[in-house]
Structure formats: C-alpha cells, structure tokens
A and B are shown apart, each in its own frame.
Chain A
Amino acid sequence: EPEVTQTPSHQVTQMGQEVILRCVPISNHLYFYWYRQILGQKVEFLVSFYNNEISEKSEIFDDQFSVERPDGSNFTLKIRSTKLEDSAMYFCASSPRLAGSEQFFGPGTRLTVL
C-alpha cells in the first residue's frame, strides 16, 4: 500500500540553525500539506501546496518557513532560523484531490531545537 514517507524521523538542531524536513508524498497525489504538533497539544495546519505554489497558509507559517517541491517526488519544509518554540512533530500529508478526499499523513519528523 502506498504511503507518505518523511525523513529524518528525528532532527536535533541548535537555535538559529536552518533545517529542512523532507517528505515524499504518495506518487499520484496532487495536494500536499504540512502540519505540526507541539508535544501535548493539538495538530495545527501550517501550509497547503498545489500546482507548485502555496494555496493556503496559517499564521504560524511566517517568513521563517518555506516549502518547495524541487522535483517530481520530494516536498520539503524549510525553517530558516529555528527557535526553541519550533520544537514539535512535523507531519506531511498528501491527497489525490480536494473534495471528499482523505489526507494521508506521513509518520512525522520530530524536531528538537536546543
């Protein structure tokens, strides 16, 4: 069964460093998403991406964040200068279409900012 994959599973970084979280969505999917979940809190939407551009983003997704689909398979989330409060689990998700369509989540990358 096809699945969304994410690497690395755990990333530890120093405050102020740049990190890139990688995702490989399911191959025939067209819509891509990043969510995050701070420990003990709810899952929060960050950004949606379709047709090589951001279609919607949340207040959390400020200038420090960017997304890219550099090739036909990878979908990345970059945090330019990490803060302590960026420590969270980051989930990538994809779906084949919008209406009536499940979003399939990857296993997540746990980001720890020291």
Chain B
Amino acid sequence: RKEVEQDPGPFNVPEGATVAFNCTYSNSASQSFFWYRQDCRKEPKLLMSVYSSGNEDGRFTAQLNRASQYISLLIRDSKLSDSATYLCVVRNFGAGGTSYGKLTFGQGTILTVHP
C-alpha cells in the first residue's frame, strides 16, 4: 500500500465550482499533515497545514480523520488561478520516535479550473 494515496484526477471544473480532494495515508504514527500546491514545473508550496479539528483558510477547508487515516481538502468558489496539482503530504516520526522533518508526498491531484 502506498504511504500517501490520492486520486490523481484530473478534475476539470468551471469557475465558481466547489471541488473536494481526498487522501489516505498508511502510517498510523504520522505526525503532521499538509496540503501543498505545485504549479507546472515549479516547486511545491505550502497551501495549508491540516489540524485534527479541521481548519479553514478563506475558500479552502482541510479536514483530518486520524481514525480513518484520511485527509481532505475542499475548495469553494474555484478561481482560474486555483489550477495546479494539489499534493497531500504527511510527516512521520523518524528512527527512535524523533521526526527529522521528512515529508512524504502523495502523487498529487491535478485540478483545472476553466472559464
């Protein structure tokens, strides 16, 4: 089983649509969770961290379900500029229970927002 698994899409949605991405992770000891955004041939950039209680940043809402090992990202009122690949990312404990910050990435979900 892949450590971090995402639906690769692609998702093609019109402007203004609401779109949801899902992600599952296999390591129950995973420590921290993030959504990154990656534009074509660019570096990943942090979109938001994901907290157990769920969190919102403007049009973006992230949810975490530790029992199901499931993470989600909801984008409301999609903009053309939201077109990108969305990466589900987890950080696990390293050897000896200490995290050295290693990030494990999912394959990414491609989103295209069209006029």
Chain A residues within CB distance 8 Å of chain B: 31, 33, 35, 41-45, 48, 50, 55-56, 58, 89, 91, 95, 98-103, 105-108
Contacts and interface: CB of A to CB of B under 8 A. Distances in A.
A105 B34 CA distance: 14
Given A91-B44, A100-B32, A107-B43, A48 B105 contact: no
Given A42-B107, A42-B108, A105-B44, A56 B32 contact: no
B105 A56 contact: no
Contacts of B103: 33, 35, 43, 45, 103
Contacts, number: 56
Interface residues of B, number: 22
Interface of B: 32, 38, 41-46, 49, 87, 94-95, 99-108
A35 B107 CA distance: 14
